[in-house]
Amino acid sequence: MGEYHYSIDDKGRLTIPSKLRIELKETCIITRGLDKCLFIYSQEEWTNIIKKYRELPNTKDARNFMRFFLSGASECEFDKQGRIKISGPLMDYAALEKDCIIIGVNDHLEVWDKTAWDNFMKDNIDDLSDIADNLFGTNI
């Protein structure tokens, strides 16, 4: 969990906060996420996702989603400064240029372009109370 503000360097490297790296261990998987951001998973969580995908029916929707999600996936190792290298296609997909936001979301991290994150928050802030009511009722 949490929100962290970082910059991508000219070589496409992004520092992952140390407290998050502890959870990810030595390597992680990065791939296209939903809503034009990137998802980062630990190896353990990635294995769980692949198991779930193997159980999906062989439908057009399942095939198309797996193509989208898995074709961009790559394993990343942290360098000595705690950075990972983000590929050009993933940078293009999420429109990452310089300033970005890393957020913890349950079982994964999301990497957002700062402007896209700011727009997401601005566009959704007024609806969050209704969304919470719909999802949780009075239990939040």
77-92, pLDDT tens digit by residue?
Answer: 999 999 999 999 999 9
User: In this prediction, what percent of the chain has a pLDDT beyond 70?
Assistant: 98
The pLDDT, as a whole number, for residue 140 is 59
What's the pLDDT band for 4 if we cut at 50, 70, 90?
very high
pTM over 0.75: yes
Partner residues linked to 113 by β-bridges: 100
Distance CA 74, CA 52 (A): 18
Tokens 């360097």 correspond to 9
What's the pLDDT band for 138 if we cut at 50, 70, 90?
low
List the domains of the chain with CATH numbers: 2-113 (3.40.1550.20)
Average pLDDT over residues 117-124: 91
Eight-state DSSP code of residue 63:
H
Q: How many CB atoms lie within 10 A of CB 128?
A: 10
